[in-house]
Structure 1
Amino acid sequence: MTANEDQEMELEALRSIYEGDECFKEISPVSFQFRIGDLEDTKAFILDITWPETYPEAAPQICLDAFFNNRISAETKQLILSKLEEQVEANLGTAMMYTLFEWAKDNQEALMENHKPVVTAVTLTSSSDMTSTTSAAKKKEKKEQLTKAQKRRIISRTDNKGELPRGWNWVDVIKVGTFNLFFPLPALNQT
């Protein structure tokens, strides 16, 4: 059999074995992800495995760089990879994906024995810090309030041509307009 025929047969077997299994994900016909452990498990990890063109005669590429694995220390990742590479060497020349996945599931506790979750730095701000910054922002947004005397002075000022600002008499026009609403206008040319 050629490498491609072996790959096709193994791919078909993997699809039938892991059909509906949420731990198995086929990225492409030669690239797969398999989650070892439950999502809530702190010792769970994801294996990324890619077949080279000459697989199964050549070793598959195993990677632990998935975002899910960011909480695993570099030392633990190296231990997992070295143990899996031992299994690859033992099974070289045969279809080994199922064997690798099952071996990793069976040996998860041993692989993650020295696992200490990596804590990423997260900056937390207290609610009092948040309150002080929002209140400062509100103070900046608040416009300056003018007194009545300040408003009168602004209105009575004239511009550089000696003219009052536009709209200085609008208040009077509005008053006259409402006055006229209550009294009928004289009739024009009633002949």
Structure 2
Amino acid sequence: MGANEDQEMELEALRSIYEGDESFRELSPVSFQYRIGENGDPKAFLIEISWTETYPQTPPIISMNAFFNNTISSDVKQSILAKLQEAVEVHLGTAMTYTLFEYAKDNKEQFMENHHPIHSATSISNIISVETPSTAPSSKKKDKKEQLSKAQKRKLADKTDNMEFEGTSHEKECFDFLVEVK
């Protein structure tokens, strides 16, 4: 069997196996992504496998460059990729995409044992505290007024027809505007 026939059979098998699996994504007939771990799991990661023209006789291209993996250090990514490459060598010449995804799922905890998110909560809180109004330079910007949609303005106008207006200054401006428009 040629490489293309092997790829067609594996593609059909992957589509069948992962049908309805939200973690699996077919980017193209030769490129696939699988999310290892649940959404919101700090140790979740995404693996992308792309087949070369001569796959499975030659290794697929395995990547962890997806935006989803931005909080994972390059050392942890390299470690995961190295372990996956070892599995590739064992399975070279056979359909291995499913095997690689399952291997990653089975070893997720081991793969991510040295993972410490790059953007920790403390660094985010430090960034936020730097930008608080008490430390920010004072500027004479006008406070933004609440913007009403056309529908809200019409409703307000309908409610206030033939009535004296009571409300905030912004609502009064809207009321006056609507009265003029009518």
- For normalisation by structure 1, the TM-score amounts to 0.68
Deviations 1:119-138 (A, max 9, x none): 287643113356933xx124
- Structure 2: stretches of 5+ with no match in the other structure: 144-182
Which SS does the other structure have where 1:39 is aligned?
coil
- The whole-number CA distance in structure 1 between the counterparts of 2:36 and 2:54 is 26
- Within-5 A mapping of 1:8-27: 8-27=8-27
Which SS does the other structure have where 2:102 is aligned?
helix
Q: Structure 1 residue runs of 4+, over 4 Å off?
A: none
- The whole-number CA distance in structure 2 between the counterparts of 1:85 and 1:26 is 21
Larger Rg: 1
The answer for the alignment partner of 2:161 in structure 1 is none
Which SS does the other structure have where 1:102 is aligned?
helix
* CA displacement at 1:50 relative to structure 2: 0.4
- The answer as to 2:73 corresponding to 1:73 is yes
Which SS does the other structure have where 2:116 is aligned?
coil
- The whole-number CA distance in structure 1 between the counterparts of 2:109 and 2:88 is 20
Deviations 1:75-131 (A, max 9, x none): 100100000000000000000011101110000000001111112876431133569
Deviations 1:35-63 (A, max 9, x none): 00011111100001100000000000000
Sequence identity (%): 61
Which SS does the other structure have where 1:128 is aligned?
coil
The answer for the alignment partner of 2:58 in structure 1 is 58
- The whole-number CA distance in structure 2 between the counterparts of 1:49 and 1:100 is 9
Give aligned pairs, total.
137
Which SS does the other structure have where 2:70 is aligned?
helix
The answer for the alignment partner of 1:137 in structure 2 is 141
Which SS does the other structure have where 1:79 is aligned?
helix
Indicate the larger mover: 4-13 or 111-120.
111-120
Deviations 1:3-26 (A, max 9, x none): 000000000000000001000000
- The answer as to 2:126 corresponding to 1:126 is no
- The whole-number CA distance in structure 1 between the counterparts of 2:7 and 2:88 is 16
Give RMSD over aligned pairs. 1.9
- Structure 1: stretches of 5+ with no match in the other structure: 140-191
